[in-house]
Homo-oligomer: A and B are copies of this chain.
Amino acid sequence: MFSKTCEYGLRAVIFIAQQAKTNEKVGINTISEAIDSPQAFTAKILQQLTKNKIIESIKGPYGGFFIDEKRLNKIALSNIVQVLDGDSIYTGCGLGLHQCNDKKPCPLHFKFIEIRENLKKMLENTTLLELSSDKALADYYLKN
């Protein structure tokens, strides 16, 4: 469904969001260990997310990645997916045809639209606030 990049990115951001309440920054080392992802690769992904203002970072000692608690309800999963995987999930034709749309639909066009709309709405309606609220639970299961 998502690329590895996007999967790691989502997991990392959810983890960082869970630390937002304590206002603590987390280093890449801590993050990649917590979410069980390759460290250097995850660092690259977080770099992208930082550039795109999804998360923030500070270099040097006591530095790390963080998210302003007040923004937790502003950041939806769709924002993260958009940065890392673009909008191919929403827009691409299920059969890979370039010119597939309402006026020139592939044989499956309208069936796919329904599925994709559901996915889109789900990602748009799920914010980091929601995912970071039940910290203990989410925190635990994020590792498995």
Show the binding face of A for B, using Cβ within 8 Å: 1-2, 4, 7-8, 10-11, 14, 77, 89, 92, 94-100, 104-108, 111, 114-115, 118-119, 122, 126, 131, 137-138, 141-142, 144
A132 nearest in chain B by CB position: B107
A77 nearest in chain B by CB position: B108
Contact A111:B97 (CB < 8 A) given known A89-B1, A141-B104, A141-B105: no
Q: Which residues of B contact A8 (CB under 8 A)?
A: 96
Contact A7 B96 (CB under 8 A): yes
A93 to chain B, nearest CB (A): 8
Contact B115 A122 (CB under 8 A): yes
For the complex, give the distance between the alpha carbons of A115 and B7 in Å: 17
A15 to chain B, nearest CB (A): 10
Q: Max chain B CB contacts within 10 Å: which of A10, A99, A114?
A: A10
Selected from B14, B104, B138, the residue in CB contact (under 8 A) with A144 is B104
Contact B92 A144 (CB under 8 A): no
For the complex, give the distance between the alpha carbons of A114 and B119 in Å: 9
Q: Max chain B CB contacts within 10 Å: which of A7, A95, A98, A114?
A: A95
